[in-house]
Every structure is written in structure tokens, then in C-alpha cells.
Chains A and B, each alone.
Chain A
Amino acid sequence: GQNIDQPTEMTATEGAIVQINCTYQTSGFNGLFWYQQHAGEAPTFLSYNVLDGLEEKGRFSSFLSRSKGYSYLLLKELQMKDSASYLCAVRDGDYQLIWGAGTKLIIKP
């Protein structure tokens, strides 16, 4: 079956760094996405990885290891506005997006 696993909830401190992990088992792989979703709002795109390695975009970075079925999202210099859910999604062999349940990130002052 197809499965995406990510922690349900994480807590971090303002100004710190947090890493949100995502592991996946899918029938084929055509890229991995990270989205941010504030409570009651629409998901918004953060990053896309299709090759192994690290992609950096400002305070956010995303890493992929296809051989391990593993990705992480790294958030640096955390701000209170980063409190949100972070969704990992994998495009499978049929080019469909399989979504994880999301990680709720709580930022404390």
C-alpha cells in the first residue's frame, strides 16, 4: 500500500531550529512536496524535491533521500507565524499526490 508517515505534533521555541521528518512508501516516485497550512486555511506550497539532496529557500530547507524513502523540512530562526501544520506529499508512479496527515508545529516564545 501507499503510506506517508510524519509526526503528529512538534513543539519548538521561537528563534530555534526544527526538523520535521517524513518517510514514505509509495508505488513509484515522481517528486516530494512540502506544504504549509495554517489552521482553517488552504495549504500553500513550500518546496519540491525530485533528486537526492538539500534544497534551500530562505529560512526553509528540504532534504530528500530516495533510497531511504525519507525527507525532512528544516525551519530556521523560527517565528511565531511559523505555527502551522506542515504537510508532506509524494507524487507516485501514476503522478498522483499521496498526502501525509501533517505535522502540527507549535512555536513557544
Chain B
Amino acid sequence: DADVTQTPRNRITKTGKRIMLECSQTKGHDRMYWYRQDPGLGLRLIYYSFDVKDINKGEISDGYSVSRQAQAKFSLSLESAIPNQTALYFCATSDLGQDGGEQYFGPGTRLTVT
């Protein structure tokens, strides 16, 4: 079984709709992240959480919100989706370790806003 899972894997939604992307992990890591990836651009951090009570904005948090329901679960919401939020979204986890806290990524959610 995958250590980091994301649901749904693909989603098509209309402008103005509220949607939620979910992430679960079985790695036991405290740190979780949400990124978006657009063609020709690097991964951009949306939000991150270092533990259940800690939520921090990343580089591009406008238009997004998150919820850390448990150590293993971190959800990303788009309050009112717009077409330029069409992207590939990744959840990741990490813990400080031998390799300096490498991040483990989920399989991604491909979101299309029409």
C-alpha cells in the first residue's frame, strides 16, 4: 500500500464551486505539505503543517484553505474554484532524518476548473 495517498486522483469542476482534496499518510510523519505544479514552473508551496496544531501559509495560499484533522490527514480546500487553479496538486510529508528531511509525495490530484 502507498505511504501517501491522495483523493481524488482526477477532478473536473466548474468555476465558483468549492472542492476539497484529501491527503492521508501512514509514514507517521508530523510534517505535511500541499504543493501545486504547473507546466514550466517549479513546485509551489500552498500550505504546510508541522503538527496537528500548526498551520502555515506558503508562497501561494490565496484562494486556498487547509485542515489538519489528525497527524495522518491534511486536506486542501478551494473555496471558490477559478480556472487558473487548474494544476497538478501534490501532498507531501517529511520528518527530520538522516537525509535532512526528504519529502515523500503522494501520487497527485489533477484538477481542472472549467
Which residues of A are interface residues toward B (Cβ below 8 A)?
4, 8, 30-31, 33, 40-45, 48, 50, 87, 89, 91, 96-102
Contact = CB atoms under 8 A, between A and B. Distances in A.
B108 A97 contact: no
A97 B45 contact: yes
B59 to A, nearest CB: 8
Interface string B73-114: 000000000000000001000000001111111111000000
B46 to A, nearest CB: 12
Contacts of B108: 40-42
A71 B43 CA distance: 19
Given A41-B108, A43-B90, A101-B41, 17 more contacts: A4-B42, A30-B100, A31-B100, A33-B102, A41-B107, A43-B105, A45-B103, A45-B104, A48-B99, A87-B43, A89-B43, A96-B45, A97-B103, A98-B42, A99-B42, A100-B42, A102-B42
Size category, B interface: 10 to 19
A44 to B, nearest CB: 7
A91 B103 CA distance: 11
Contacts of A40: 108
B105 to A, nearest CB: 4
Nearest to B40: A101
20 contacts: A33-B102, A40-B108, A41-B107, A42-B105, A42-B108, A43-B43, A43-B90, A43-B105, A44-B105, A45-B103, A48-B99, A50-B100, A87-B42, A89-B42, A91-B100, A96-B45, A96-B48, A97-B103, A101-B42, A102-B42
B29 interface: no
Nearest to B38: A101
Q: Specify which of A30, A42, A100 lies most central, judged by the most chain B CB atoms within 10 Å of its CB.
A: A42
A17 to B, nearest CB: 24
